[in-house]
Amino acid sequence: MTSKAWFWPAMLAGAALDLATKHIAFANLGDSQYVNVVPHLLGFVRSENEGALFGMRLGGGLVLAVLSLLAVGLLIYFLHKSKASGVWLPIAYGTIAAGALGNMADRLFNDGRVRDFIDLHIGNHHWPTFNVADVLICIGVGMVIYAEFRKGKRAEG
């Protein structure tokens, strides 16, 4: 398998993981039920989000679904134009694409809403509820930033 081919399993496995965890969470949590996993830090709760990042309104669910599909297309384009030879960048792009596809599927099959269930908090200070797709996007972006930082360090040394 070529290094760029790692994009596809990363994307498919990540999207499947996201959709599976959403299904499990929403099948097992009641509407107002809260499951405290780690006291004062982590819990599970059902939440639905009609917006984009942190609930921002950027148009309806169909608009955001189309933007997600365009983002995946751009990731594939950038990957094929890239001269990177390792697996790091393809996996990073694949995890970003997985998150975009997971949330896009939710928007298309859940009346324009994304299912969130992870509640991260310190005491009573809660981060906006999120899902595995959001985690994958953040991990992928972090990997891209790290790769660019390392590339800059190699050029200096």
For the chain, the domains span 3-47+54-156
pLDDT tens for each residue of 2-30: 889 999 999 999 999 999 999 999 999 99
The pTM (predicted TM-score) of the whole model is 0.89
Task: Write the DSSP string, 14-51.
Answer: HHHHHHHHHHHHHHHS-TT-EEEEETTTEEEEEEEESS
The residues with which 99 forms a beta bridge, in sequence order, are none
Report residue 46 as tokens: 């059902």
Q: Which residues are catalytic?
A: 116, 134
Kindly provide the b/e burial profile for residues 121-146, where b requires at least 16 CB atoms within 10 angstroms of the residue's own CB.
eeeeeeeebbbbbbbbbebbeebbee
User: Looking at the chain, which runs of residues are DSSP E strands?
Assistant: 34-38, 42-49, 114-122, 125-126
Q: Please check whether residue 64 is in contact with residue 108, taking contact to mean a CB–CB distance below 8 angstroms.
A: no
pLDDT tens for each residue of 109-130: 998 899 999 999 998 899 999 9
